[in-house]
Amino acid sequence: MSQAAPSSPPHVSFGWQLFKSATRSFTDRRVSLWIALVGLVLALLVTLVWLAGRYEASQYQAELDRDTSDAVSDIRTGFGRHILNLQNLQSKALPPKAWQSEVAGLLGQNRDWLRLEKRDLQGIVLEFANTPFRPPLFETHTRLNEQAEILQTCLRARRVNGPAYSRSYFVPQPDGIGLEVMEMCLPILERGTAVGFTLLTYGLQEVLISHLGETYGRRNEISFIEPDGTRLAVHGTLPRAKRLFTATQLLDLPGITLVLRMDGRRAAPNLFPNVLPALVTAMSIALVSVLILLVKDSRRRLKAERDLADALAFRKAMEDSLVTGLRARDLHGRITYVNPAFCQMVGFEAEQLLGKSAPMPYWPSEMVGEYQQRQAVRLAGNAPPREGFESVFVRKDGSRFPVLIFEAPLINVLGKQTGWMSAFLDISEQRRIEEMSRASQERLQATARLATVGEMASLLSHELNQPLAAISSYATGSLNLISNQAAADASPALSDLQMALERISEQAGRAGKVINSVHDFVRRRDQDKEVVHPRALIEAVMPLVQLQAQKLGVRVETTFDERLSHILCDRTMVEQVLLNLSRNGMQAMDHPHCQKRLLTLQVKRAPSNLSHGWIEFCVIDWGIGISEEIAKQLFTPFFTTKPEGMGLGLSLCRTVVEQHGGHLEFLPHEPHGTLFRFTLPTAPDV
């Protein structure tokens, strides 16, 4: 019979059961605490996320409400400014054409103005203008349906002596879209009484774009709505897949109340709008470690960038300060860079030149082929001479100027050619100085010739005085003999011979006076001046003028002002000026195309603000006139258009007139011919 195993004591079994029960209870309680702690942390995190989302939503909603209120204020401010502009327009009382011009400027400045009308008290349209930004609003629409509303609006404005607004209405357009508009009526007041109305048509969508588009339209959708939510005008778009924020605000206007609605582009926050604090902390530690490494690299990089920026600024300052034009081209001939000096030289902006290739806008049209061939040779790799070459460019205004061009290959840091760099020097001033030097040399030569002519004139005057004196003596002796013979024989032939000898003696004396005056003029002596009546000067030269006029078939007329004053002058030299101008005028009419051959000699008083008076002499012909090229050199010594002329006549005439204190000039005579006139001072106390 087997023996049974001994069993545990009862008190030991009970203690073990109690220990296991206590251990299980403690473990369950610790798990519960961890579960509660984790639950509390999760609840705290969820609450924080929910509160953050609610706070963010409330902040954005408050911001949207403020934006909506500010938008309504902006619209009111804009409408107030429009009223001031219209009142200013009314105060000017402009005629129709000036009113149209002023209104066109206002419509161009305000895109929300679709139409502006000027009406009388009965509502009849007197003047109107449409916006230039869209087709006429009421071209096919008669506005009969809105006439009653417009009249009521204007009556309301008349009662309050201020602006009044109509209800909005839809205007269909030919394109099938149409738009919502409203009217604003402003009475035209004169001394406090309305005499008419200014009717302004607003486009509601244009109001949103003009007043709110730049400020609020980029991040919100803005619209005018009716109280039932119907949208009248909308500006902006929003994503459809997200819940959006909305704010409304009333826009109270005299006669109408609009509702402005603003929908935010930002959607409602998601479940986790922000990064969890623990993740932020961990990432912050990692970022700090990375930033410590990046700081040193950033400092080195910033130093290199500053050095590079300083070098670029220094190079840019040098290029901008140069008076030499610089131009860079790539291997295909396109312009890649120009400096300000080059732009100023050719008159084009840099944006107009960059990227351009042949033909360039500053090339002369007749030289495009030659310049393209030269550029092709350059792009083929043939370097130009180092001393440069000359060329001609055309400025934007059409003027031409010479340039000296230096070109060199453009090499990059790798030693590879990337294009060509050209330097340009404007040598216009150099050419002008050379031309001035050449002109100075010519003037010196002309002066030397004038000195030679003066010496010859002095010599001729000295040599001719003796023959002229002999002619005068012989003529006088012949007259004495004829006078003695005439007493015995009074025949007509003898009388004619006596008259001819008298004319010979008179002209010989006159020639002597001319030679003496020329002699004094060459030696710059003071001429013998005398008091002469202007009519006497004309009458003295008329026989010689008439003689040449008969040869050329020219009719001569003389006109004199009444009560002409005497003048103080060298009579012989002034007569020579009149004779020279008259001959030139008659020779100018000796042309096959000259239909009318009339030479007019006028003498009149010239207007003057000085204490002494002036007498004006005019010589008018009906010739072919003087061209612009000849007019520039007309008074230049030795310049002449006559094959047998010396080119000294007009130059000496002007010198004689200026020595008397007067002025010689010429003007075109309408319809044909030329008018030469000069002035001489009147004699004092005569």
Residue 417 shares a structural domain with residue 445? no
Q: Which residue has the higher pLDDT, 501 or 353?
A: 353
Is residue 410 in some structural domain? yes
DSSP of 146-162, one letter per residue?
HHHHHHHHHHHHHHHTS
Q: What are phi and psi of 663, to 5 degrees?
A: -145, 135
pLDDT band of 23, cuts 50, 70, 90: very low
pLDDT band of 617, cuts 50, 70, 90: very high
- Coil, helix or strand at residue 527: coil
- Coil, helix or strand at residue 422: strand
Among 40-49, 200-209, 347-356, 384-393, whose mean pLDDT is lowest? 40-49
Cβ-Cβ contacts under 8 Å for 444 (sequence gap 6 or more): none
d(CA 475, CA 629): 48
For position 445, what pLDDT does the model report? 62
Return the percentage of the chain with pLDDT > 90, whole number.
Answer: 4
Strands 530-532 and 555-560: unpaired
Residue 463 shares a structural domain with residue 534? no
Yes or no: say if 246 and 271 are a contact pair by the CB < 8 Å rule.
Answer: no
User: Once rounded to an integer, what is the mean pLDDT over residues 217-241?
Assistant: 78
- Per-residue pLDDT at 255 exceeds 90: no
pLDDT band of 29, cuts 50, 70, 90: low
- Per-residue pLDDT at 46 exceeds 90: no
Is residue 36 in some structural domain? no
pLDDT band of 241, cuts 50, 70, 90: very low
The residue type at 555? R
User: Once rounded to an integer, what is the mean pLDDT over residues 414-419?
Assistant: 82
- Per-residue pLDDT at 593 exceeds 80: no
pLDDT band of 185, cuts 50, 70, 90: very high
- Coil, helix or strand at residue 320: helix
For position 84, what pLDDT does the model report? 92
Compute CA distances 187 → 107, 154, 200, 485, whole Å: 19, 7, 11, 110
For position 5, what pLDDT does the model report? 43
pLDDT band of 165, cuts 50, 70, 90: very high
Q: Which of 27-31, 64-68, 370-374, 465-469 has the highest mean pLDDT?
A: 64-68
Residue 444 shares a structural domain with residue 406? no
Q: Which of 233, 266, 299 is the last residue of a domain?
A: 266
Among 11-20, 231-240, 410-419, whose mean pLDDT is lowest? 11-20
Q: Which of 73-82, 298-307, 432-441, 583-592 has the highest mean pLDDT?
A: 73-82
d(CA 149, CA 144): 10
Residue 385 shares a structural domain with residue 443? no
Residue 419 shares a structural domain with residue 447? no
For position 187, what pLDDT does the model report? 92
Is residue 344 in some structural domain? yes
Compute CA distances 418 → 410, 412, 414, 415, 424, whole Å: 6, 7, 10, 9, 20
For position 286, what pLDDT does the model report? 66
Strands 325-330 and 598-606: unpaired
Yes or no: say if 254 and 156 are a contact pair by the CB < 8 Å rule.
Answer: yes
For position 418, what pLDDT does the model report? 80
For position 385, what pLDDT does the model report? 58
The domain spanning residue 259 has which CATH number?
Answer: 3.30.450.20
For position 521, what pLDDT does the model report? 53
For position 18, what pLDDT does the model report? 47
Yes or no: say if 130 and 115 are a contact pair by the CB < 8 Å rule.
Answer: yes
Strand partners, 233: 224
Is residue 205 in some structural domain? yes
Residue 123 shares a structural domain with residue 216? yes
pLDDT in tens, 517-569: 565 555 554 556 888 899 888 888 888 888 788 888 888 999 998 888 888 88
For position 263, what pLDDT does the model report? 83
Q: Which residue has the higher pLDDT, 206 or 237?
A: 206
Q: Which residue has the higher pLDDT, 570 or 641?
A: 570
Among 113-122, 256-265, 525-534, whose mean pLDDT is lowest? 525-534
Q: Which of 379, 397, 426 is the last residue of a domain?
A: 426
Yes or no: say if 498 and 482 are a contact pair by the CB < 8 Å rule.
Answer: yes
Q: Which of 426, 460, 490 is the last residue of a domain?
A: 426
For position 184, what pLDDT does the model report? 92
- Per-residue pLDDT at 242 exceeds 60: no
Q: Which residue has the higher pLDDT, 613 or 601?
A: 601
User: Once rounded to an integer, what is the mean pLDDT over residues 65-80?
Assistant: 89
Q: Which of 1-10, 23-32, 123-132, 484-493 has the highest mean pLDDT?
A: 123-132
Closest CA to 63 of 245, 274, 250, 252: 245
- Per-residue pLDDT at 283 exceeds 70: no
User: Once rounded to an integer, what is the mean pLDDT over residues 154-167?
Assistant: 89
For position 262, what pLDDT does the model report? 86
Mean pLDDT for all residues in the chain:
76
Exposed e or buried b per residue across 27-36, where buried means at least 16 C-beta atoms within 10 angstroms of its C-beta: eeeeeeeeee
Note the pTM of the prediction, 2 decimals. Answer: 0.38
600 CB neighbour count, 10 Å cutoff: 18
Residue 555 shares a structural domain with residue 617? yes
Q: Which residue has the higher pLDDT, 345 or 502?
A: 345
For position 8, what pLDDT does the model report? 42
- Per-residue pLDDT at 133 exceeds 70: yes
Q: Which of 179-183, 593-597, 670-674 has the highest mean pLDDT?
A: 179-183
Is residue 261 in some structural domain? yes
Residue 414 shares a structural domain with residue 464? no
For position 19, what pLDDT does the model report? 45
Residue bearing tokens 């502006």: 116
Residue 243 shares a structural domain with residue 175? yes
Residue 565 shares a structural domain with residue 543? yes
The domain spanning residue 544 has which CATH number?
Answer: 3.30.565.10
Among 3-12, 39-48, 56-65, 411-420, whose mean pLDDT is lowest? 3-12
Is residue 686 in some structural domain? no
For position 265, what pLDDT does the model report? 64
For position 318, what pLDDT does the model report? 76
User: Once rounded to an integer, what is the mean pLDDT over residues 475-487?
Assistant: 68
Is residue 514 in some structural domain? no
Among 73-87, 169-183, 375-389, 648-662, whose mean pLDDT is lowest? 375-389
For position 136, what pLDDT does the model report? 82
pLDDT band of 271, cuts 50, 70, 90: very low
The residue type at 386? R
Task: Say how many domains are in the chain.
Answer: 4
Is residue 337 in some structural domain? yes
Residue 175 shares a structural domain with residue 255? yes
- Whole domain around residue 443: which residue ranges? 437-506
Residue bearing tokens 């009339």: 598
Yes or no: say if 203 and 235 are a contact pair by the CB < 8 Å rule.
Answer: no
- Coil, helix or strand at residue 394: strand
- Per-residue pLDDT at 36 exceeds 60: no
Residue 399 shares a structural domain with residue 492? no
Strand partners, 258: 251
For position 647, what pLDDT does the model report? 63
